[in-house]
Amino acid sequence: MDCNSLVCFLLKSSQSINKFMKTKMIAIVFLAAELAIASSAEKLSAPNHGRIIDAVDPRAEFLISSDQKIEIRFLDAAGKAIAPTAQVVTVTMGDRTKPTTLLFIRVGDTLVSDRAIPAGKELPVVVKIQNGPDAKPVYAKFNLNLATCPTCSNAEYACACDH
Ligand SMILES: [Zn+2]
């Protein structure tokens, strides 16, 4: 085909743009699919509406109980609680100049803090988890916002809807 005309030129360039777009679109679709898989793997729903700590393996659920204690449960890939093995958990929270340290006692498959959390709004929390007394610690840091999320009705510190 003789391609001296402007129409022909435009047609050709639009075809190459189309091809380019298609390649891009396919890449985007693959990327989106990968992201969906990644986020579904990350988004383990918390069986007790607590906060999932996924920096540790197995993952942990952090929950403030009705008596204001911290409960930590370890979860398998399906989100079921599994018995703690040798994990050592320490929580440091509250006023940075005078922080409160909570230690944990095993009650069944749950690690329960030795006392209630200090009072206060959105207190900074540092959860330190070791898979054994000499293991490298993993830290999870967040503010403990105890208000209820209006959308998913979890506490804000455990919000599951990213609102
Ligand atoms: Zn929410």
Q: Annotate the chain with DSSP letters as a single string.
A: ----SHHHHHHHHHHHHHHHHHHHHHHHHHHHHHHHHHHHHH-PPPTTS-EEE-SSSSEEEEEE-TTS-EEEEEE-TTS-EE---S-EEEEEES-TTS-EEEEEEEETTEEEESSPPPP-SSEEEEEEEESSTTSPPEEEEEEE--SBPTTT-SBGGG-SS--
Ranges 3-7, 44-48, 56-60, 159-163, most confident: 56-60
Q: Is there a contact between 160 and 148 (Cβ–Cβ < 8 Å)?
A: no
Is residue 4 pLDDT above 90, yes or no?
no
- How many angstroms is it from 141 CA to the middle of ligand 1? 19
Percent of the chain with pLDDT over 70: 74
d(C-alpha 42, C-alpha 10), whole Å: 47
- How many angstroms is it from 94 CA to the middle of ligand 1? 23
- How many angstroms is it from 52 CA to the middle of ligand 1? 13
d(C-alpha 53, C-alpha 96), whole Å: 22
- How many angstroms is it from 28 CA to the middle of ligand 1? 28
- How many angstroms is it from 97 CA to the middle of ligand 1? 31
Nearest to 107 by CA among 56, 64, 53, 71: 71
This prediction's pTM: 0.74
Ranges 28-37, 42-51, 154-163, most confident: 154-163
- How many angstroms is it from 154 CA to the middle of ligand 1? 6
- How many angstroms is it from 158 CA to the middle of ligand 1? 8
User: Mean pLDDT score of the chain, rounded to an integer?
Assistant: 85
- How many angstroms is it from 42 CA to the middle of ligand 1? 16
Percent of the chain with pLDDT over 90: 69
**113-156 tens-digit pLDDT:** 999 999 999 999 999 999 998 999 999 999 999 999 999 999 99
Please list all protein residues whose beta carbon sits less than 5 angstroms from ligand 1, which is an ion: 149, 151-152, 159, 161, 163
